[in-house]
Structure 1
């Protein structure tokens, strides 16, 4: 915490001159300490929740096990799972059907 920088900031924002020995800096230090403790606690909770979610995803087959990191071979396209191929096929069919519907609608409107 740079007291001179904070003093300048307070003066720039409010026009009030604050001495570097002012008790307000004790409040700033207290605020920093409380904020640091709160951030550490929140990070620990977030880390625990992330690990629990990852474990749940691994249990359902959504993530690979930690002992088997996913490594991609450079210059080679990733291999899709059968489920991903089915989803890609369904997306292709839907996109072709939408394109045909748009073209058919345009043809009908053009004839009118």
Structure 2
């Protein structure tokens, strides 16, 4: 059997943190999904994906779980929206000029 896999770590984590996250993801996959032929796991520091098919040119849109924020912004919604937009714009500007193309805000 053939397996294709990939992992991606955040641009601001060290190689040791990346290795640890990927190793944890592999172990979690083996423990939680031992019979699955295709798995994608997301963690704060890394993402792991593998499949018995070609995943390098295939977008995975199945099986997603979306977690929503259950808290509402009840006051100063305009200020909150402006803060989110300025933070995203600032992170995009910093990331675009960074060698790793990564930024946080």
- In which range does the TM-score fall when normalised by the shorter chain? under 0.3
Greater fraction helix: 1
> TM-score, normalization: structure 1?
0.23
Identify, as 1 or 2, the structure richer in strand: 2
TM-score norm. by structure 2 comes to 0.25
